[in-house]
């Protein structure tokens, strides 16, 4: 039996007799309630909640979007599961303006918002007494860190405003009063009103057609009947249209980019089918996507039933659709089985990165999958070369206080771990194990200790084999274990030879050959170029390969990073235009960091550009770049 709070069975048996106020709708009795893990490694330090005492099981939102004041407000109705002697529930909040809390009968409940803790928000403590159904009336701060309000000129259409949210890791507490921890899964529903003609989408299933209201607004209703981590509650609203891909897949986007977006993601229905063939049924109903304005800070966000995507993946040749495969794979690893604490993020991202590569292999072939895996592995090697192989932050499990070595560990080392296991035990046996992991822990939180024990029990045939597989070393120790399965050197043999030739004789590949290379091959070539190049050498590369004019943002980023690191003046206008258009932190932060490292030349350029572009960035991006450029309000 998984480590569930000892009191939970009692709670489930006694909820009815301890609920004194009005009952939730009858349908709520059928909602799945996920367990709470109580082992020390599952206690989440990023939340104020005390779920062993009182926990949220369901959230019902009734909200209005105010684009004139950049505010969202209304009510959040919470269903609570609590110990019979519990008199309070503690929620997470960050900047919420709470005006009233009542029980199910409308009786006022006392509440207190405690002192704010930097990076964590403030506890919202509510005296619930016997109430197990409470209503919170509130308004979110216009500067809510999860929300980005865009003016019309920041959108592709230029006519209407736009709103999107980004809740990971602990930002949703800035617009939803709940227990904002990945280990406290909750079902939810929402009614959201917005001014016409804007459409609203959320990470739940849309219920029927929007309802026309008498005040120039429409109401949209959504339901998520599976318990999810709170960071996965997401919203977007704007001038967006929908186009179907398959019977359960489709894409939303602004009308100006819908054609391009739809073409780029046309393989999505096939991806879902291949993912199901690998690791079991897709359990969320629909799989839709929305391509957001460029200010979105991430490549993608795996919000259930509505993946959020950056437009920077649209290359016109589907060469960057690994992003779609990655977010889809999260429907199993991350959404279905979720890390209980952020110290175990690799359970989401590392497993997903492995799964992504398997989908790519099925859709686009073994060669592309091998090349993308090789790029991933190179990122690990680069990180270890930079920070060292014995740094605690290079372990997969990263307890509180550990400075993470970054995405190359959480994503790429996690994927390398699973590729190594597949190589060691064989694909058939490995796939059977991973599928049962998803099945046996569906809609539940998990920890590194849990997957370690599951591997020992259900993957390794003996304790000796568990030792041979180095399971504990992979999860808990820094660096790369000696049994790591390295990518096939032949994956980039041609490209690496071309990069070596450029390094020795400055021989540039022919433009025709360059165009025939895959995006992974072009990225590999750019990464392998000498780090110190003259202005003339950079100009020759650009002229022959068309680097500054590419429509592939991954390749453009690598070119700009190389050019700026060599103080190449002709690249500055292109970099400025790129940073003004794109808010993806993966691109933005490194380019500003590169400029800041270039003596007296770069910092003035970085500070001048950032002063213009900062207002257009999401809080996630601003937070990282502020530190790089030394921004002072």
Residues marked active site are found at 327, 411
Give the HSE-up count for residue 517: Cα atoms under 13 Å, Cβ half-sphere. Answer: 25
Place of tokens 């270039």: 598
Measured distance CA(317)–CA(426) in Å, rounded: 33
Q: Are 175 and 140 in contact (CB under 8 A)?
A: yes
Q: Are 289 and 265 in contact (CB under 8 A)?
A: yes
Radius of gyration of the chain (CA): 25
For residue 221, report the phi and psi dihedrals to the nearest 5 degrees.
-120, 140
Burial group, residue 567, by CB count within 10 angstroms (0-12, 13-18, 19+):
middle
Q: Three-state secondary structure along 375-417?
A: HHHHHHHHHHHHHCCCCHHHCCCCCCCCCCCCHHHHHHHHHHH
Residues 6+ apart with CB under 8 A from 334: 302, 347, 348, 349, 351, 352
Measured distance CA(98)–CA(237) in Å, rounded: 24
Measured distance CA(380)–CA(408) in Å, rounded: 5
Query: The tokens of 88 are what?
Result: 């309070």
Residues 6+ apart with CB under 8 A from 168: 231, 232, 301
Query: The tokens of 457 are what?
Result: 């029990």
Measured distance CA(271)–CA(330) in Å, rounded: 13
Measured distance CA(174)–CA(183) in Å, rounded: 18
Query: The tokens of 318 are what?
Result: 């589907």
CA distances to 205, 304, 359 from 285, rounded to whole Å, are 8, 10, 19
Q: Are 179 and 229 in contact (CB under 8 A)?
A: no
Count the helix, strand and coil residues of the chain and give each as a percent rounded to the nearest 5.
Answer: 45, 20, 35
Residues 6+ apart with CB under 8 A from 527: 378, 558
Q: Report the Cα 421 to chain-centroid distance in Å.
A: 25
Sort strands 306-309 and 287-291 into parallel, antiparallel or unpaired. Answer: parallel
Query: The tokens of 471 are what?
Result: 């399971």
Count the residues in the chain.
633
Q: In what order do the strands lie in the sheet with 199-202?
A: 147-150, 162-165, 235-238, 199-202
Which H or E run contains 621? helix 619-629
């Amino acid at each position: 039996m998984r480590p569930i709070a000892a009191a939970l069975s009692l709670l489930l048996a006694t909820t009815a007799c301890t609920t004194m106020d009005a009952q939730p709708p009858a349908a709520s009795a059928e909602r799945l309630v996920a367990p709470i893990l109580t082992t020390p490694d599952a206690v989440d330090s990023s939340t104020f909640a005390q779920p062993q005492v009182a926990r949220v099981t369901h959230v019902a939102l009734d909200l209005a979007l105010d684009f004139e004041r950049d505010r969202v407000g209304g009510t959040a109705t919470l269903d609570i599961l609590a110990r019979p002697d519990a008199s309070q529930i503690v929620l997470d909040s960050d900047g919420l303006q709470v005006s009233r809390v009542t029980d199910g009968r409308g009786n006022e409940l006392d509440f207190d918002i405690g002192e704010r803790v930097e990076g964590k928000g403030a506890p919202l403590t509510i005296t619930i007494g016997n109430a197990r159904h409470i209503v919170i009336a509130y308004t979110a701060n216009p500067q809510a860190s999860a929300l980005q309000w865009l003016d019309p000129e920041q959108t592709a259409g230029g006519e209407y405003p736009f709103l999107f949210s980004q809740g990971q890791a602990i930002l949703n507490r800035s617009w939803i009063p709940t227990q904002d921890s990945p280990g406290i899964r909750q079902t939810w529903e929402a009614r959201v009103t917005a001014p016409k003609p804007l459409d609203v989408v959320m990470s739940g299933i849309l219920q029927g057609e929007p309802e026309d209201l008498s005040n120039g607004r429409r109401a949209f209703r959504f339901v998520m009947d599976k318990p999810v981590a709170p960071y996965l509650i997401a919203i977007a609203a704007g001038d967006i249209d929908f186009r179907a891909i398959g019977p359960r897949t489709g894409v939303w986007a602004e009308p100006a980019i819908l054609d391009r977006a739809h073409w780029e993601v046309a393989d999505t229905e096939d991806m879902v089918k291949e993912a199901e063939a690998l690791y079991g049924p897709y359990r969320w109903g629909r799989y839709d996507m929305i391509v957001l304005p460029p200010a979105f800070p991430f490549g993608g966000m795996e919000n259930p039933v509505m993946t959020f995507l950056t437009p920077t993946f649209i290359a016109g040749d589907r060469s960057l659709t690994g992003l779609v495969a990655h977010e889809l794979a999260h429907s199993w690893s991350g959404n279905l089985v979720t890390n209980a604490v952020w110290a175990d993020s690799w359970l989401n991202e590392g497993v997903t990165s492995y799964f992504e590569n398997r989908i790519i292999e099925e859709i686009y072939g073994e060669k592309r999958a091998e090349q993308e895996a090789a790029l991933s592995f190179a990122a690990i090697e680069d990180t270890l070369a930079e920070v060292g192989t014995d740094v605690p932050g290079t372990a997969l499990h990263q307890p509180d206080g550990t400075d993470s070595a970054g995405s190359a560990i959480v994503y790429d080392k996690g994927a390398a771990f699973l590729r190594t296991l597949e190589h060691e035990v064989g694909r058939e046996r490995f796939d059977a194990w991973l599928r049962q992991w998803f099945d046996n822990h569906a809609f539940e939180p998990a920890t590194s200790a849990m997957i370690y024990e599951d591997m020992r029990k259900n993957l390794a045939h003996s304790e000796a084999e568990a030792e041979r597989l180095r399971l504990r070393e992979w999860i808990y120790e820094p660096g790369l274990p000696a049994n790591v399965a390295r990518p096939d050197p032949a994956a980039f043999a041609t490209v690496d030879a071309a990069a070596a030739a450029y390094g020795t004789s400055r021989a540039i590949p022919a433009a025709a050959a360059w165009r025939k290379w895959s995006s992974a091959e072009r990225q590999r070539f750019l990464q392998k170029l000498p780090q110190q190049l003259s202005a003339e050498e950079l100009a020759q590369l650009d002229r022959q390969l068309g680097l500054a004019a590419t429509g592939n943002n991954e390749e453009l980023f690598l070119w700009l990073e190389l050019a700026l690191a060599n103080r190449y003046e002709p690249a500055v206008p292109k970099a400025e235009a790129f940073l003004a258009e794109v808010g993806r932190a993966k691109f933005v932060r490194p380019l500003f960091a590169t400029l800041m490292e270039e003596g007296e030349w770069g910092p003035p350029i970085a500070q001048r550009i950032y002063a213009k572009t900062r207002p257009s960035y999401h809080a996630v991006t601003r937070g990282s770049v502020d530190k790089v450029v030394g921004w002072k309000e």
